[in-house]
């Protein structure tokens, strides 16, 4: 046999020797294609099975016929021998038919279900073998009517008939020579064919088993036919195998479970390269029972994952476990659509566990996606894993964060942030971990948690809490400001309460003083009213007597001076009475005792009367006095008070007018009110003094007014009386040019009003 050896460019294996190659090429040329063959095999096998079944059926039938023939021959032979052996004299004596029959029968004549009957001339059965046979009575009754056997005897041969009891049997009858007795051999067909049946059953079973086996082989061929195609390494596999020696190439039909390994894969497991296709069962026998490679592949297929990267353990020929990492792609065959895993297997880190590659990748992803800086050191202070945030945080180059880098190297290469502040955070007395907050030189804050791992390494997680710290600082500042504001507010409130208390005290004092003032005012008014009343009585006497003396009613006074004194006393008394009347009126007003006596009055008429009163004084000083407006102006008012008002105002106008001046009185209607404006061309009033006027005893002092008499009550009384009518008084004046005092009275029903407001308003 030619020796197999690896050969480049001609597949993984080739067979040496040109003759074999020629034969192989010839066979390949004339053989139907593999797929065609694969389709033909089941048909051929099915056809073969049908032909075989037909042949077998024929053979079974033939053997059955042969068996029947042999049984008939055996029956006839036994019958002939026995009939010849029977002795006629013994039968004629009629003594021992049963014994004679037993002796005459050849050996094994009564085997295989055969029954021998000996009957007399009447057909009555006299002896039988075996003796316990149930065939009794008359022979014709046993064999049934219509059969020629008893009549024809040996000439009828062996016949297959249905006995009277329904049994299908082979029967032959012999006439015993020289007697009337007949010897009958009966063998049921079932007994005759018993040996044939058991043999046939075995043969049928063998045929079925053979057929099934053949079908199984055919199925296997049909199923495994693509193996040849699959196991032939493609160009990529060959290239991979050559490019990466020591790396096993896998091509795994995931639908059928056929696996094709390259020689290095066998070498990895210490096995001899095998050119045959490997089934998954073979692989499973080498696979560690905890590593369910098939389940993982199913998961990939289910989830549509094409990239496969898995570690698992295979048993080496020596018995130890080899941790293998298989990396590959799952693709689908363009023709059949069957999934294939094509990949490379290498010996992995013995510590690697199945699924670790995936798990590591997932873990790396997870660690990378967290917002914290993460680093894990092993018990030898070597780097196990860190994320990019840790790398950025320490300014580490990529080559410095490779797993296995020592702690000292990494820290030396790191641009270690300078910690300006560090605060330990309360930690439940745990010596295995510590937590602290650190402020870096650039102002950022970190919350760092370091913890020992079980294997002696440690893991550190750093969280950037700058925003949190800033908001905490802001909150602290806000809180501080808030506290300051609260303190200020408390102070202000205290001050306000203090001021409030002061105000309350002042209000109390004011109310007290006001009450006192009101009481004093009332007392003053009452005093004035009383004193005025008391003064009026003697004053009337003075006025009356002085008038009498002035008029010399009881005779001349004598000297001229007495006459002059009497006149002065009278005028002074008159003036004093006016003042006292004014004081009395003012007191009444302030005491609220002044009431109106309303009636229908003609204001124009009252104005006219008042003008008449002052007309003499005006005429004496050359002051023109004129009235404008309607002749009649009826309203509801107190006649006496209206006259008092107009007299006051007109007398003031005349009094404070220059000689040769002018006083105009004008009545108008405006906005439902009667307006009586008294305008003079007198000395006028300074603007600053206008506001003072209208208050009792208030006078404006100037050179001119000093020369005039007056109590300073006229305007105040006028204002009070106008307001009692529900009206107002307005003073407009310009110093040196004149004054206009306007009374506004409601035309309709007058309404009472208190005398509180200042009288005048600046023009």
Q: What does the binding site for ligand ADP look like in residue numbers (CB under 6 A)?
A: 648, 652-653, 656, 680, 682-683, 685, 693, 699-700, 705, 710-716, 739
Continuous H helices in 225-322: 227-231, 235-243, 263-268, 280-286, 293-303
CB of 543 to ligand ADP, least distance (A): 19
Query: Closer to ligand ADP at the Cβ: 258 or 662?
Result: 662
Shortest CA distance to 109 belongs to which of 89, 147, 142, 80? Answer: 80
| CA–CA dist 571, 569 (Å, integer) | 6
Q: Residue 673 in contact with residue 634, Cβ under 8 Å?
A: no
Give dist(CA 605, CA 702) in Å, integer. 35
Q: How far is the CB of 738 from ligand ADP (least distance, A)?
A: 7
User: Least distance in Å: CB of 589 to ligand ADP?
Assistant: 13
d(CA 556, CA 410): 146
If the CB atoms of residues 48 and 697 are measured against ligand ADP, the closer one turns out to be 697
**Residues 184 and 154 sit within 8 Å (Cβ to Cβ):** no
Of the candidates 170, 3, 142, 140, the residue with the CA atom closest to the CA atom of residue 79:
170
- Three-state DSSP class for 378? coil
Give the nearer residue to ligand ADP in terms of CB position, either 386 or 755: 755
| 282/658 with CB nearer ligand ADP | 658
624-628 sheet: strands from edge to edge? 624-628, 662-670, 673-680, 738-746, 728-734
Counting other chains too, the contacts that 336-340 makes at CB distance below 8 Å and 24 or more residues apart are: 336/226, 336/255, 338/253, 338/254, 338/255, 338/256, 339/253, 339/254, 339/255, 339/301, 340/230, 340/251, 340/252, 340/253, 340/254
Residue 586 beta carbon to ligand ADP: minimum distance, rounded to whole angstroms? 10
Determine the Cα–Cα distance for residues 566 and 551; give it in Å rounded to an integer. 9
Residue closer to ligand ADP, measured from CB, 408 or 701: 701
Q: Select 75 or 665, whichever has its Cβ closest to ligand ADP.
A: 665
Q: What residues are paired with 147 via a beta bridge?
A: none
Q: What's the min distance (Å) between Cβ of 656 and ligand ADP?
A: 3
CB of 677 to ligand ADP, least distance (A): 12
* 309/698 with CB nearer ligand ADP: 698
Helix (H) or strand (E) holding 519: helix 466-551
163 phi/psi in degrees, rounded to 5: -65, 170
Least distance in Å: CB of 491 to ligand ADP?
A: 53
Cis peptide before 309 (omega within 30 of 0): no
**Rounded least distance, CB 614 to ligand ADP, Å:** 12
Cβ distance to ligand ADP smaller for residue 276 or 703 = 703
CA distances from 533 to 477, 527, 571 (A): 80, 10, 19
* CB of 462 or CB of 696, closer to ligand ADP: 696
- Nearest distance from residue 682's CB to ligand ADP, in Å? 4
Tokens 């760092």: give the residue: 448
Closest to ligand ADP by CB, 189 or 722:
722
Cβ of residue 666: shortest distance to ligand ADP, in angstroms? 15
Instruction: Give the nearest distance from C-beta 545 to ligand ADP in angstroms.
Output: 26
Comparing CB distances to ligand ADP, the nearer of 365 and 659 is: 659
Q: Which is nearer to ligand ADP, 252 or 656 (CB)?
A: 656
CA angle 701, 703, 709 (to 5 degrees): 65
Long-range contacts of 226-232 (CB under 8 A, 24+ apart): 226/34, 226/38, 226/253, 226/256, 226/258, 226/336, 227/258, 227/277, 228/34, 229/34, 230/258, 230/260, 230/277, 230/340, 231/258, 231/260, 231/275, 231/276, 231/277, 232/11
Which two tokens mark 579? Answer: 């003042």
Residue among 192 and 729 whose Cβ is closer to ligand ADP: 729
Cβ neighbour number for residue 193 with a 10 Å cutoff? 19
In the complex, minimum distance from the CB of residue 497 to ligand ADP, in angstroms, rounded to a whole number: 48
Angle at 529 between CA 527 and CA 534, to 5 degrees: 90
Instruction: Report the number of secondary-structure helices (H) and strands (E) in the chain.
Output: 23, 26
The CB-of-740 to ligand ADP minimum distance in angstroms stands at 9
Cβ-closest residue to ligand ADP?
710
> Is the Cα torsion angle 59, 61, 65, 71 positive or negative in sign?
positive
Q: How far is the CB of 508 from ligand ADP (least distance, A)?
A: 36
Residue 32 gets which letter from DSSP? P
Return the CA Rg of the chain. 77
Nearest in space to 326 (alpha carbons), one of 304, 303, 352, 351: 352
Whole-angstrom distance, CA of residue 678 vs CA of residue 667 = 9
The rounded distance, in Å, linking the Cα atoms of 588 and 755 is 12
Provide the minimum distance between the beta carbon of 598 and ligand ADP in the complex, in angstroms, as a whole number.
25
550 or 711: CB nearest ligand ADP = 711
Nearest residue (CB) to ligand ADP, 343 versus 661? 661
Give least dist CB 737 to ligand ADP, A: 11
Q: Shortest Cβ distance from residue 700 to ligand ADP (Å)?
A: 4
Where do the DSSP E strands lie in 272-417? 278-279, 307-315, 321-332, 339-347, 373-377, 383-386
Residue among 638 and 680 whose Cβ is closer to ligand ADP: 680
Q: Which of 544, 758, 743, 574 is nearest to 644 (CA)?
A: 743
Q: Which is nearer to ligand ADP, 223 or 697 (CB)?
A: 697
């Amino acid at each position: 046999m030619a020796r197999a050896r690896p050969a480049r460019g001609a597949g993984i294996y080739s067979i040496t020797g040109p003759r074999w190659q020629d034969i192989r090429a010839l066979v390949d040329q004339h053989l139907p294609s593999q797929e065609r063959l694969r389709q033909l095999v089941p048909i051929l096998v099915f056809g073969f099975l049908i032909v075989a079944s037909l042949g077998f059926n024929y053979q079974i039938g033939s053997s059955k016929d042969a068996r029947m023939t042999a049984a008939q021959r055996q029956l006839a032979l036994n019958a002939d021998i026995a009939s010849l052996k029977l002795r006629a004299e013994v039968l004629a004596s009629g003594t021992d038919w049963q014994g004679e029959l037993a002796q005459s029968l050849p050996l094994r004549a009564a085997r295989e279900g055969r029954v021998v009957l000996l009957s007399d001339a009447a057909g009555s059965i006299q002896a039988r073998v075996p003796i316990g046979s149930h065939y009794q009575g008359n022979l014709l009754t046993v064999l049934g009517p219509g059969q020629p056997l008893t009549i024809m005897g040996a000439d009828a041969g062996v016949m297959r008939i249905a006995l009277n009891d329904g049994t299908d049997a082979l029967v032959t009858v012999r006439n015993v020579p020289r007697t009337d007795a007949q010897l009958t051999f009966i063998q049921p067909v079932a007994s005759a064919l018993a040996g044939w049946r058991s043999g046939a059953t075995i043969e049928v079973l063998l045929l079925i088993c053979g057929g099934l086996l053949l079908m199984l082989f055919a199925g296997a061929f049909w199923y495994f036919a693509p193996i040849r195609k699959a196991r032939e390494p493609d160009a990529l596999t060959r290239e991979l195998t050559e490019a990466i020696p020591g790396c096993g190439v896998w091509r795994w039909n995931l639908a059928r479970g056929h696996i094709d390994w390259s020689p290095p894969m066998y070498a990895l497991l210490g096995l001899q390269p095998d050119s045959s296709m490997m089934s998954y069962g073979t692989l499973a026998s080498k696979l560690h029972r905890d590593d369910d490679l098939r389940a993982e592949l199913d998961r990939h297929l289910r989830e549509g994952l094409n990239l496969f990267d898995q570690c698992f353990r295979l048993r080496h020929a020596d018995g130890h476990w080899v941790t293998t990492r298989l990396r590959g792609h799952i693709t689908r065959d363009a023709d059949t659509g069957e999934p294939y895993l094509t990949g490379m297997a290498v010996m992995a880190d013995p510590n690697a566990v199945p699924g670790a590659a995936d798990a590591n990748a997932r873990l790396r992803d997870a660690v990378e996606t967290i917002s914290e800086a993460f680093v894990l050191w092993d018990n030898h202070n070597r780097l196990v894993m860190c994320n990019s945030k840790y790398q950025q945080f320490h300014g580490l180059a990529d080559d410095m964060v490779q797993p296995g880098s020592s702690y000292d190297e990494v820290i030396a290469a790191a641009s270690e942030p300078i910690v300006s502040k560090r605060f330990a955070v309360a930690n439940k007395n745990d010596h295995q971990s510590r937590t602290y907050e650190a402020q870096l030189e650039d102002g950022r804050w970190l919350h760092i948690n370091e913890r020992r791992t079980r294997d002696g390494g440690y893991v550190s997680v750093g969280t950037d809490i700058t925003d949190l710290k800033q908001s905490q600082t802001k909150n602290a500042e806000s809180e501080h400001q808030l506290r300051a504001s609260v303190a200020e507010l408390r102070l202000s409130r205290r001050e306000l309460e203090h001021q409030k208390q002061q105000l309350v005290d002042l209000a109390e004092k004011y109310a007290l003083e006001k009450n006192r003032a009101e009481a004093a005012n009332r007392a003053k008014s009452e005093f004035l009213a009383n004193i005025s009343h008391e003064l009026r009585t003697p004053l009337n006497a003075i006025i009356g007597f002085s008038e009498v003396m002035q008029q010399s009613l009881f005779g001349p006074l004598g000297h001229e001076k007495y006459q002059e004194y009497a006149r002065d006393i009278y005028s002074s008394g008159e003036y004093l009475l006016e003042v006292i009347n004014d004081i009395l009126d003012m007191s009444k007003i302030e005491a609220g005792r002044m009431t109106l006596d309303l009636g229908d009055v003609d204001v124009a008429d009252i104005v006219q009367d008042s003008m008449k009163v002052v007309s003499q004084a005006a005429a004496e000083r050359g002051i023109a006095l004129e009235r404008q407006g309607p002749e009649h102006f009826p309203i509801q008012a107190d006649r006496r008070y209206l006259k008092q008002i107009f007299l006051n105002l007109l007398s003031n106008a005349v009094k404070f007018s220059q000689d040769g001046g002018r006083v105009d009185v004008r009545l108008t209607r405006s906005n439902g009110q009667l307006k009586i404006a008294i305008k003079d061309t007198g000395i006028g009033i300074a603007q600053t003094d206008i506001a003072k006027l209208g208050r009792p005893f208030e006078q404006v002092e100037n050179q001119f007014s000093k020369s005039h008499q007056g109590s300073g009550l006229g305007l105040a009384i006028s204002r009070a009386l106008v307001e009692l009518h529900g009206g107002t008084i307005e003073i407009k004046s310009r110093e040196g040019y004149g004054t206009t005092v306007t009374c506004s009275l409601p035309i309709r029903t007058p309404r009472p009003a208190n005398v509180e407001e200042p009288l005048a308003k600046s023009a």
